Amino acid sequence: MTDAAVLRDFASLLAIPNVTGEIADLRLNAEEIVRRFEAVGASMEIVELPGAAPVVIGELRCPNPTAVLGVYVHYDGQPVDPSNWTTPPFEPTLKSGDTVLDFPDEGEQVDPEWRIYARGASDDKTPLCVIPEAIASVAHRKVDLVFLFEGEEESGSPNLGRYMEHLQDRLAADAWLLCDGPVHQSRKPQVSFGARGFTGFHLTVYGPSHELHSGHYGNWVPNPALDLARLLATCKDADGNVTIEGFYDDTKPISEADQLAMDALPDIEDQLIADLGFGAAENSEAGYPERLMVPSFNLRGIESAAAGSNARNVIPAEAKASVDIRLAAGDDPVVMLDRVQAHLEAQGYTVLDRDPTPSERRTHRHLAKLEREVGYRAVRIPMESALASVLLDVCHRASGEEVVALPTFGGSVPLYLFEDILGAPVAVLPIANHDNNQHSPDENIRVGNIQYGIELWKTLLTTDFEGIG
């Protein structure tokens, strides 16, 4: 296809709503993905286990393959609140800066700095656009591909392991490529040799059984929003160090090879701080790459009654916070959550895993509900492996640029399943721009990154992967 046609074609895929958990919508996506890969010669199939969103699996063989590469992509996206989007999340919109453009006609030039705005544009439908286009563009392939496209990644991949076990003999590969996430903030191509794990929780603390008038009761009835603020404030110090006992105890130390790789990374911190528009990093001592090598504690959101112009003069009845903990290599998700619970208890809270009864609310001054999202561990593969070398070389040849070799990717992807169930090494091969508003309103993909993705996959399909297994 021409560049113009590729953009139109991708927009038609992005127009299918893909909010995680919306099974009916996700099935429509799966069917469209099957059509697109079958159109370039792959054998595809939708598999749906009870209670799970469907996966799309498939294969594309060639004569005399040098290796079998597994390709993982997820086609679901984060929830959307359209009122926060500049343009509707499922009406893909092409823009140059703030100017909305018509999608170009055949023969018209495209500008790499244009962007397409839509949920899923970068996280993670891009590979589903560029891989079929690369397959169609290449005459002779040197690798076999095995596909696994998931529809529940943004819900924490609760059934990915089950699918892998169920489909194990159809997912045999010498190595897997996890096609997700953004390239380096310098816009240089990137390969990551690991990813952070994920665990998290929702925390609710309780005040009166319903909102009360703050005039009549303020100063006497405890305020759960302030209680929650006080509780969260005990979890991290002013320099961003987590103060939960044992939080860093299991984390794998940074090796010499890791440190060398990090030292070789482009120095982008000052530029990134300026681009992202904040004053200074949370921790004044460790650099950005080092901060990805220790577990994080991030307050994803907090809610109690209403603030700002909608504020009412009330004592809220409850207050909620959601936290995600990005795990570094060595950390166990359940152990981390146990430490969080012990910390809450050490602050004097009675901690339940369910809603309290009215009677429990009446008998405890400090009562919390902790809802666990267990998640999964982090993975890091050796940076000196054959797989690593050939992937770095592919990226270099596709882009003509120096390639960033990242010891760990910041985002969380369930790499451990590939190791544990499919028994294969796995690397992360991203395409999207870093400034893509991933997980947020106005998610977008830069056109230049789509073009890089197509070149990357054309190069990869024609490369000798012998000896990577």
Q: Which of residues 391-410 bind a second copy (CB under 8 A)?
A: 409-410
Q: DSSP letters along 188-237, please? A: --EEESEEEEEEEEEEEEE-SSS-EEHHHHTTTS--HHHHHHHHHHTSB-
Among 55, 177, 321, 391, binds a second copy (CB under 8 A): 321
Dist. CA 195–CA 430, nearest whole Å: 12
Q: Going residue by residue from 19 to 58, which x/- string records binding to a second copy, judged by CB under 8 A?
A: ----------------------------------------
Residue 24 neighbours by CB under 8 Å, 6+ apart: none
Q: Tell me if 220 contacts a second copy by CB under 8 A.
A: yes
* Cα–Cα distance list, 59 to 34, 38, 141, 173 (Å): 11, 10, 13, 11
Question: Could you tell me how many residues of this chain bind a second copy (CB under 8 A)?
Answer: 100
Among 5, 40, 101, 229, binds a second copy (CB under 8 A): 229
Among 4, 138, 221, 351, binds a second copy (CB under 8 A): 221
Which residue, among 191, 159, 136, 120, has the nearest Cα to 398 in the 3D structure? 191
Amino acid identity of 378? Answer: A
Return the residue matching tokens 């749906």: 48
Q: What is the DSSP letter of 462?
A: T
Q: Tell me if 446 contacts a second copy by CB under 8 A.
A: no
Dist. CA 182–CA 192, nearest whole Å: 10
Least distance (Å) from a second copy to the CB of residue 398?
Answer: 22
Dist. CA 251–CA 377, nearest whole Å: 11
Among 62, 226, 386, 421, binds a second copy (CB under 8 A): 226
Q: What is the DSSP letter of 66?
A: S
Nearer to a second copy among residue 350 and residue 462 (C-beta):
350
The neighbouring-strand residues paired with 196 are 412
Compute the half-sphere exposure of residue 458: CA atoms within 13 Å on the CB side of its CA.
15
Nearer to a second copy among residue 2 and residue 313 (C-beta):
313
Please report, as residue ranges, which positions from 350 to 369 form the binding site for a second copy (by CB under 8 A): 358, 361-367
Among 83, 311, 354, 384, binds a second copy (CB under 8 A): 311
Nearer to a second copy among residue 35 and residue 230 (C-beta):
230
Among 18, 29, 66, 78, binds a second copy (CB under 8 A): 78
Reduce the DSSP state of residue 404 to 3 states and report it. Answer: strand
Instruction: Let me know how long the chain is.
Output: 469
Nearer to a second copy among residue 4 and residue 217 (C-beta):
217
Q: Going residue by residue from 80 to 99, which x/- string records binding to a second copy, judged by CB under 8 A?
A: -x------------------
Nearer to a second copy among residue 17 and residue 207 (C-beta):
207
Please report, as residue ranges, which positions from 323 to 342 form the binding site for a second copy (by CB under 8 A): 324, 326
Q: Going residue by residue from 267 to 296, which x/- string records binding to a second copy, judged by CB under 8 A?
A: ------xx-xxxxxxxx----x--xx-xxx
Q: Tell me if 63 contacts a second copy by CB under 8 A.
A: no
Least distance (Å) from a second copy to the CB of residue 224?
Answer: 9
Among 18, 155, 223, 449, binds a second copy (CB under 8 A): 223
Dist. CA 392–CA 382, nearest whole Å: 13
Q: H or E element: which one contains 72? A: strand 68-74
Nearer to a second copy among residue 36 and residue 434 (C-beta):
434
Dist. CA 405–CA 144, nearest whole Å: 25
Burial of 255 (0-12, 13-18, 19+ CB in 10 A): middle
Nearer to a second copy among residue 103 and residue 206 (C-beta):
206
Q: Tell me if 301 contacts a second copy by CB under 8 A.
A: yes
Nearer to a second copy among residue 279 and residue 400 (C-beta):
279
Please report, as residue ranges, which positions from 170 to 199 form the binding site for a second copy (by CB under 8 A): 181-182, 196, 198
Nearer to a second copy among residue 46 and residue 351 (C-beta):
351
CB 197 within 8 A of CB 416: yes
Which residue, among 179, 210, 222, has the nearest Cα to 426 in the 3D structure? 179
Q: What is the DSSP letter of 83?
A: G
The neighbouring-strand residues paired with 21 are none
Q: Going residue by residue from 415 to 444, which x/- string records binding to a second copy, judged by CB under 8 A?
A: -------------------x--xxxxxx--
Return phi, psi of residue 323, to 5°. Answer: -125, 140
Q: Tell me if 251 contacts a second copy by CB under 8 A.
A: no
